[in-house]
Amino acid sequence: MARQFAYYPGCVAEFSSKELNATTKALAPLLDIELLPMPAATCCGAGDIAEAKPNLYLTLNVRILSQAEEMGVDILTICNVCTLNLRRANKMVKEDPRLLEAVNEELVKAGARPYQGTREVTHLLWFLATEEGLSLLEARGPRGLNGLRVAPYYGCQLLRPSSVMGFEDPDRPQSLERLITALGGEVADYGSKTKCCGFPIILAREEVALRESHVALSEARDAGAQCMVTPCPLCHLAMDAYQRKTEKQMGEEYNLPVLHLPQLLGLALGIPTADMQFRRHMVPVDEVLQIVGA
């Protein structure tokens, strides 16, 4: 029987980066995952609502958790920021029954369902980097990545704070590496794979943000990467959509295609390239497609 999740793609994957949502939906049936829609789920607030109105952030995110509870399944995310915001809210109310009670009071007043604290939130990467996930990939008999040199890029909020995230060592993560290797790719290793892409301040402080993304882009390039892969659509925007801008600001060339994690899996599993909507990327991925023979 298919493994069911309450699917929480997040705003960016639904709008700016539709290619991520489309690829995830194409990938799920191949891995025997059923993605159940959450039509009443709001934005997680992306850290911005937590900053402006922390109590509102908590209540809105618990409302989302409660929807998954009503569906009787755990939440699956494909965005670092959504994962942190939902997990943080979940941890806060699970560890503090009085806080949960106060939040539920607000939810009930608003006509929403109260939360009992029974759900978990996991990212697609975490699900796939376990024994269960890897065996699902193997069962598909992937055609493989043909030695493609891939720079894993984690970004920040899937790793830190580890007290909230906790899937793996935030300083020596291995989940992306495990998947790249299992799919017949080569890991292009570099130091800044756990550093920030700058996206949270890219609209307010663009120059600073681009100096941040420059660090990982230049290191990945120097490590001989043929592409970068990321589990987060915000990192993807910073690394792909803004890459030409960063090149201009820093006076350097990276020319590094950036794949969403499900796209890398899709290439290895033979999802038709048109379905993964690479045309929506700013940096062309043609060479990557050639190497893997897609």
Partner 1 sequence: MPSTTFRIFRFQPDSGKTEPYHQDFVLEHEPRITLLDAILRLQNEQDGTLALRYSCRSAICGSCACKANGKTVLACMEQVEDLKAANVGGVVRVDPIGNFAPIKDLVADMTPFWEKFKAVKPFLIPDGPAPEKERLVSKEAMQKIYNESKCILCAACYSECNSLAADPEFVGPAAFAWGYRFAADARDGQRKERAKLYSGEHGIWDCTRCMFCNERCPKGVDPRDAIEKLGSIAFQEKVTSDKGARHAKAFLISMRTGGKLNETLLVPYTDPIGAQFNLPFALQMLRKGKAPSPIPHRVKHLDEVKHLVKNVKETI
The residue ranges that bind partner 1 (CB under 8 A) are 11-12, 14-18, 39-43, 45-56, 59-60, 63, 106-107, 109-112, 156-157, 159-163, 170-172, 191, 195-196, 198, 200-201, 203-206, 208-209, 211-212, 215, 241, 244-245, 279-282
Considering the complex, what minimum distance in angstroms separates the CB of residue 210 from partner 1?
8
Question: Residue 31 or 197: which CB sits closer to partner 1?
Answer: 197
Considering the complex, what minimum distance in angstroms separates the CB of residue 31 from partner 1?
26
Considering the complex, what minimum distance in angstroms separates the CB of residue 238 from partner 1?
10
In 73-117, which residue ranges form alpha helices assigned H by DSSP?
80-95, 97-109
Question: Residue 36 or 215: which CB sits closer to partner 1?
Answer: 215
Question: Residue 63 or 178: which CB sits closer to partner 1?
Answer: 63
For residues 265 and 204, what is the distance between their CA atoms, to the nearest angstrom?
Answer: 33
For residues 220 and 100, what is the distance between their CA atoms, to the nearest angstrom?
Answer: 43
Question: Residue 31 or 258: which CB sits closer to partner 1?
Answer: 258
Considering the complex, what minimum distance in angstroms separates the CB of residue 255 from partner 1?
16
Q: Is 157 exposed, middle or buried (0-12, 13-18, 19+ CB in 10 A)?
A: buried
Question: Is there a contact between 226 and 263 (Cβ–Cβ < 8 Å)?
Answer: no
Question: Residue 35 or 50: which CB sits closer to partner 1?
Answer: 50
Question: How far lies 77's CA from each of 5, 10, 12, 85, in Å?
Answer: 9, 7, 12, 11
Considering the complex, what minimum distance in angstroms separates the CB of residue 81 from partner 1?
9
State the DSSP code for 215: H
State the DSSP code for 271: -
Considering the complex, what minimum distance in angstroms separates the CB of residue 224 from partner 1?
21
Helix/strand/coil for 194: helix
Considering the complex, what minimum distance in angstroms separates the CB of residue 3 from partner 1?
25
Residue whose C-alpha is closest to residue 78's, from 191, 236, 193? 236
For residues 9 and 44, what is the distance between their CA atoms, to the nearest angstrom?
Answer: 11
Question: Residue 52 or 139: which CB sits closer to partner 1?
Answer: 52
For residues 229 and 176, what is the distance between their CA atoms, to the nearest angstrom?
Answer: 8
Note the Cα 184 to chain centre separation in Å.
21
Residue 150's DSSP bridge partners are 187, 227
Question: Residue 86 or 156: which CB sits closer to partner 1?
Answer: 156
